[in-house]
Structure 1
């Protein structure tokens, strides 16, 4: 964290500025932000940024390895094997907690990762609002690897749409206009022209997929920008779950990214990784003996999202109660450090790095980020709604 910018921000901050910030965020899409937005960005120095990128690149080394798909074949649930598999994931994200290393310096620790999109549109919208409201110095940027707002959005649009017309591409989710992430769907629609469509709206004719637009006209779907989480689909009523079976059929449609990658690049991958900034992780089924000092571990289900099912306070009884051990991991707990000084007490932070992978390129590239601030045990915005100086945010990086 960059102390000089933190002090600069805190000294200049006023509650009125925060209200202006919220007004700027809500002005374009009134009522679409359902989560708490933090008062402040996170200011990240070059050393911490490069540590995160070092860990990310080590994971990319594993993902691009010749044996990665064989290692992760079992990660994809049999009931959700969707035709049209692809050899790479167009989008990946990596979540890091800000901790303190043995040398006393801040260091990142990888908490989770996903071969799945994130708030790619909203974070650009948020970056603009934060910079304009707070007067963020120009030498700080939310982008990585030399990306600018223009080049970032250009690449995002190119990957999502490809050579198709925007109307042939849909952003697919379950009840997208009710999702807490819908602000991102609307920003993405603005930046790319891609329409959010609910799974329940889809139907097929032959091998072609269609939905009806607002005028009732059938629109063929050539490409799906996938935001659908199948774990959420499985929690729905039988008639809605049945709609998911449509996606298991042989269809003339492309996935961006294919659903397989939600599972392949996930908590399932963590036990195969070794890096100073990646905590040791083991499949619960591979642990015949109970480890000592369970308070040093966190228990996570492989197939869940938004922190659901995570056990922070692990006990022998909780482990003994698990029947499907192959679907759980035990991860060495990391100690989030209260590195963000705020007027009402320090906050912890988690930073998510976005990676984009263009077809034909040997590796993906880091492009942008989001951040979350917390003052509790759980870092997600859903767990911090009653605090201040917590919630969704983003990092401004020192440029190299």
Structure 2
């Protein structure tokens, strides 16, 4: 979206250069990245940045209100309430579509999450783009931070005052996840091991994991376990249940996954937030359903979303479950990224840290996804180029 920089990048680009770029990404950690990495970063100019940051701040204004958590209690299922809740969500992600209204590019909120994202990988990816392409020095992707100061912020947030061997990255079969590259990068920089939930040992109120065969105490958990995946794993054998009251700190408390979610969106008044309403609040369905998308409130990575929703889809949802869904007015992504063979749509995720001693979350990095399909996501972009995960460089 910065014409000069886009032209500069596209002039450098070649398929051979892209293949070398991907090979370098895979070689660094001896791990083949399973998701598609886009050919290009997104270059965001000052004018759109100002709109994006204004929209983000309007949403953050709601989250930092003293009564926010009280308002969101309806989001938290009683059977998934994890003890020792933190006052803040350590991590916040805000996803914005780049749209066009009345000939003007505008951000529109698609989703929000009180959950960590690819904090490690995005630093790695941004730096690799700089290694392989000439990108102007005055463009940034860490918002006033460089890589060393960025990792220092993450170290303070995730590890805190603990010895790294007593802090773990907790996930279900972490090295089998699509996001494993992020875990490997985080381990390299912070010294914390990715640990499978089923490998956690519990003794009374204390947690342990095996490090090089030695039982090692767990004092703090960087949580990457998503409840909808956990609940779907009926055959998963664990000693430790996340909802048990144990002597451990949370770097990213699981309850915030629910408090800051699609559930939050109807409570936010902003031009950047599309009209949305909980399903159980409808007495009759909208006549123009083609203008809406049906979303489960607590799914991750777009699972369960129905883009072409019908009355039959809505009628099929039991009344008692309708509180877990919402209808959101569709936004229309504007193709804004010039690829060699046409224009591409994009979605920008702003990633924040919110330490407990700070009054507001701090924006520290970002993520972008490129798409030529009807929606953002792998299944809508099969066999397409200039699509996939990326990073934004801001003017």
Give the shorter-chain TM-score range: over 0.9
Give secondary structure in 2 for the equivalent of 1:109: strand
CA distance in 1, matches of 2:273, 2:312: 27
Q: What is aligned with 1:109?
A: 108
The answer to whether residue 244 in structure 2 is matched with residue 249 in structure 1 is yes
Q: What is aligned with 2:232?
A: 235
- Give 1:150 shift: 1.8
Deviations 1:45-73 (A, max 9, x none): 11211212111111111111122111110
Q: What is aligned with 2:285?
A: 290
Deviations 1:248-296 (A, max 9, x none): 2221101111100001000000010111111111111111121131111
Give secondary structure in 2 for the equivalent of 1:247: coil
CA distance in 2, matches of 1:39, 1:239: 37
Match among 355, 370, 378 for residue 375 of structure 2: 378
- Give 1:32 shift: 3.9
Residues 32, 78 of structure 1: alpha-carbon distance in 2 compared, 3 angstrom cutoff = farther
Give secondary structure in 1 for the equivalent of 2:343: coil
Residues 212, 380 of structure 1: alpha-carbon distance in 2 compared, 3 angstrom cutoff = same
CA distance in 2, matches of 1:188, 1:50: 30
Residues 37, 244 of structure 1: alpha-carbon distance in 2 compared, 3 angstrom cutoff = farther
Q: What is aligned with 2:363?
A: 366
- Give 1:245 shift: 5.6
Aligned residues: 393
The answer to whether residue 117 in structure 2 is matched with residue 118 in structure 1 is yes
CA distance in 2, matches of 1:282, 1:163: 42
Q: What is aligned with 1:278?
A: 273
Normalising to structure 2: TM-score of the pair? 0.97
Normalising to structure 1: TM-score of the pair? 0.96
CA distance in 2, matches of 1:264, 1:383: 29
CA distance in 1, matches of 2:11, 2:132: 15
Q: What is aligned with 1:191?
A: 189
Alignment of 1:3-82 (within 5 A): 3-82=3-82
CA distance in 2, matches of 1:245, 1:71: 30
Is 1:274–1:280's contact at 8 Å kept on the other side of the alignment?
A: no
Is 2:172–2:197's contact at 8 Å kept on the other side of the alignment?
A: yes
Give secondary structure in 1 for the equivalent of 2:250: strand
Q: CA RMSD in A?
A: 1.3
Q: Which runs of 5+ in 2 are unaligned?
A: none
- Give 1:371 shift: 0.4
Residues 131, 182 of structure 1: alpha-carbon distance in 2 compared, 3 angstrom cutoff = same
Alignment of 1:209-228 (within 5 A): 209-213=207-211, 215-228=212-225
- Give 1:100 shift: 0.7
CA distance in 2, matches of 1:170, 1:7: 43
Give secondary structure in 1 for the equivalent of 2:314: helix
- Between 1:40-49 and 1:166-175, the stretch displaced more is 40-49
- Give 1:244 shift: 7.6
Give secondary structure in 2 for the equivalent of 1:341: strand
CA distance in 1, matches of 2:236, 2:114: 28
CA distance in 2, matches of 1:176, 1:383: 26
The answer to whether residue 307 in structure 2 is matched with residue 312 in structure 1 is yes
Give secondary structure in 1 for the equivalent of 2:40: coil
